[in-house]
Structure 1
Amino acid sequence: MLENDIVATHLQELRRGTVVLACLVTLRRPGYGYALLETLNAAGFAVDANTLYPLLRRLEKQGLLDSAWNTDETRPRKFYRTTADGEQLAGVLLADWNALHSSITDLDSTEGDPR
């Protein structure tokens, strides 16, 4: 039986690269960091704030996200939104993700095939 820490490590590796795609897709509608964190966690992406906020800053620096402060409420919040470049990258990443999913599904379905 596999040890829990081995499983956890591999699950983390599998999901690590998908967080960027999940952010770009989710932020097609403006959202602030904490709400994004909750949305991602609810969708099955176990991301913590110490990972998410630096990622958002990096994506913004790369021109994939825009941000604006909302000071209308009692607590100012920085809202992020996917840019046109971010949308283009999301399309490329999503197409690759779908191709990988299809390939893994094909490999899994040939598991019993004695080629």
Structure 2
Amino acid sequence: MGNLLNSLSTELRRGTLTLAVLSQLRTPQYGYSLVQLLEGAGISIEQSTLYPLLRRLEKQELVTSSWDTSESRPRKYYVLSEYGFELFLQLKKEWIENSKELYSLLKGGEVDEFN
């Protein structure tokens, strides 16, 4: 059961990570700052997961990136594009609606768990 649970749990997280990352890119962030923001909200993400996700979002034109070389260590900052922001708002709305529907299904018959 443990392996199956881990597999299904990973599958659930995969979709939510994209939305979580998009939600934090309304202001420019570099990789480590993004990890810190997400972890502060209780969402752990490995850099080996984050950077491929950021590259994919950039390829899909949801995110733009730019280098800041003003400090001794150059940092690549990511931020939502205008298109990315519009898509984020739509995904956010859809997530909230789906969460309400799923919550309604899950709480039926299991009153004690969802108080």
Specify the TM-score bucket, using the shorter chain as the normaliser. 0.7 to 0.9
Q: In the alignment, is residue 88 of structure 1 matched against residue 86 of structure 2?
A: yes
For 1:12, which of 10, 13, 27 is the aligned residue? 10
CA RMSD of aligned residues (A): 1.6
SS in 1 for 2:7: helix
TM-score, length-normalised on structure 1? 0.85
Q: Report the counterpart of residue 20 of structure 2 in structure 1.
A: 22
Dislocated runs of 4+, deviation >2 Å: 5-11, 108-112
Q: Report the counterpart of residue 49 of structure 2 in structure 1.
A: 51
Q: Report the counterpart of residue 108 of structure 1 in structure 2.
A: 106
Structure 2 letter corresponding to 1:66: T
Cα shift at 1:106: 1.1
TM-score, length-normalised on structure 2? 0.85
User: C-alpha distance in 2, partners of 1:8/1:46?
Assistant: 15
1:34-49 correspondence to structure 2 within 5 Å: 34-49=32-47
Greater share of helix? 2
Identity %: 42
The runs of 5 or more residues in structure 1 that have no matched partner are: none
- Determine if contact 1:15/1:45 at 8 Å carries over to the other structure: no
